[in-house]
Amino acid sequence: MKRLTVLFFLLISFTTHSAELCQEEFQNVGAIYQITDSQSNGKNTAQQKTLQLWRSPKQVIYTYSAQAVSEKWRLLSNQRIKLTRYFDQFERGIEYQAADMPDFKQNTNHWLSKYRMIAPFLLEQLQKVKSINTGCAENIVYRSKQAAQTQILLNWNPHYQLPTKLTIRQGKQLTVWQLTELITDSKKVQQNHDKREHYQLTDYADIGDNEADPFLAKMINQGFIEHSHSGFYNADGDHM
| Distance from chain centroid for Cα 201 | 22
Nearest partner of 235 among 34, 31, 29, judged by Cα: 34
Residue 150 lies in a domain: no
What's the whole-model pTM score?
0.79
If one counts the domains in the chain, the total is 1
- Asked, for residue 46, whether it belongs to a domain, the answer is yes
Residue 221 is given by DSSP the state: H
71, part of any domain: yes
pLDDT in tens, the chain (240 residues): 555 444 334 333 434 444 444 555 688 999 999 999 998 665 666 788 999 999 999 999 999 987 789 999 999 888 888 999 999 889 999 999 877 776 666 667 788 889 999 988 889 999 999 998 877 889 999 999 877 788 999 999 999 999 999 999 988 899 999 999 999 999 999 999 999 999 999 998 888 788 788 888 888 777 776 644 434 444 444 444
Amino acid identity at 227? H
Q: Is residue 226 part of a domain?
A: no
- Is residue 74 domain-resident? yes
Domain assignment present for residue 106? The answer is yes
Domain boundaries, position 97: 26-121+182-221
Domain presence at residue 231: no
Reported for 125-128, long-range contacts at CB under 8 A and 24+ positions apart, including other chains, are 126/152, 126/154
Q: Does some domain include residue 213?
A: yes
